[in-house]
Amino acid sequence: MIPVIKLHHCNRLITDISTINETDAEEVMPYILRSAIILFSAEMEDNIKKIVTIALKHYPFVVKQITIAEIREFLKNFGNKSRNPTFSDIKKLLKIFDIDIDSSISDNDKQFYSNFINKRNKIAHDPRAPISFSFGDFTKAVNIGEAILNNINKSLFLKVTEHIKNEFT
């Protein structure tokens, strides 16, 4: 059985936001959403790093015909490439593993996810930037993010022997 990845902090925030009444929500929602988008990006980044780290520990099973020097180069660049990654950034980052992450994510979802990450970048670098997404958009981004992570996880997991299953949890 392939472990399922969840964005636990984001899902907890969704649950908590859902309990706020409408009157209070209007006043606090812009502040909550500003924090939520930063949280989302950070949790995606952390999970991608975790998956890649586990995969690299087992690189003979996951990455064929690659040298130690190429892995070193990949790791040297990994930090910058994995920060707030759009869908195309994720694809480039994972190219070393030769996995297909396109097939189970629709083009609309890929674009929505990438646009959401770009909104995060605007908000993070300009505290006065207006919030241009809703709570529903945040929830959708979390669902798409989990689908992306689980697609990566499944693709890599299928390349690795069953004995590492416990490391993904």
pLDDT tens for 89-121 read 888 878 777 788 888 899 999 999 999 999 998
**What residues does each domain of the chain span?**
28-168
Least confident range from 65-74, 81-90, 100-109: namely 65-74
The answer to whether 84 touches 117, Cβ cutoff 8 Å, is: yes
pLDDT range class, residue 38, cuts 50, 70, 90:
very high
| One-letter amino acid for residue 74 of the chain | F
Indicate the pTM of the whole model: 0.85
Compute, in degrees rounded to 10, the torsion defined by CA atoms 157, 70, 92, 141: 50
| One-letter amino acid for residue 72 of the chain | R
User: Is the pLDDT assigned to residue 133 strictly greater than 80?
Assistant: yes
What pLDDT was estimated at residue 119? 94
Six-digit token string for 135: 């709570």
Six-digit token string for 5: 């990845």
8-29 average pLDDT score: 86
